[in-house]
Amino acid sequence: MSLSDPIADMLTRIRNALSARHQAVNVKASKICQGICEVLKKEGYVEDYKRIDDDKQGVLRVYLKYGPMGQDVITEIKRVSRPGRRVHGGVADLPKPLGGLGIAIVSTSKGVLSDRQCRRENVSGEVLCTVC
């Protein structure tokens, strides 16, 4: 089965794994999904991720993170730019989820970055998703 939106598939798998209290979740590997996992790791939303190579596409195993009392670190993860409606934002137009407490993940010419990194490096691009 081919996926028309692998990013939405990855976000849905993470969302479902968090609600089921899993420690890790497997998603299909791609460069953009790996970039999103890297941003989530740098910003402290997931523990770690690991690429597992097989004879096909490969798998990303994402190790989820929970608080000290078992609460979810990621309360909301939402796809912004979809295949049917691309959302591009300038540096000044990038969203600030939860008034700056969350992050927006942006695909730029310098790779996949968080909205804070985009403002710091003064680059803009396509807003992939928001995480709170």
Q: Do the bridges between strand 77-79 and strand 125-131 make them parallel or antiparallel, or are there none, so unpaired?
A: antiparallel
Joined together, the tokens standing for residue 58 give 């490969």
Please give the pLDDT value at position 48: 98
Identify the pLDDT of residue 2.
Answer: 56
Q: Are 18 and 76 in contact (CB under 8 A)?
A: no
Domains of the chain: 6-131 (3.30.1370.30)
Residue 89: what pLDDT? 86
CA distance 47 to 54: 23
Residue-by-residue pLDDT tens, the chain, 132 positions: 457 899 999 999 999 999 999 999 999 999 999 999 999 999 999 999 999 999 999 999 999 999 999 999 999 999 999 999 999 989 999 999 999 999 999 999 999 999 999 999 999 999 999 999
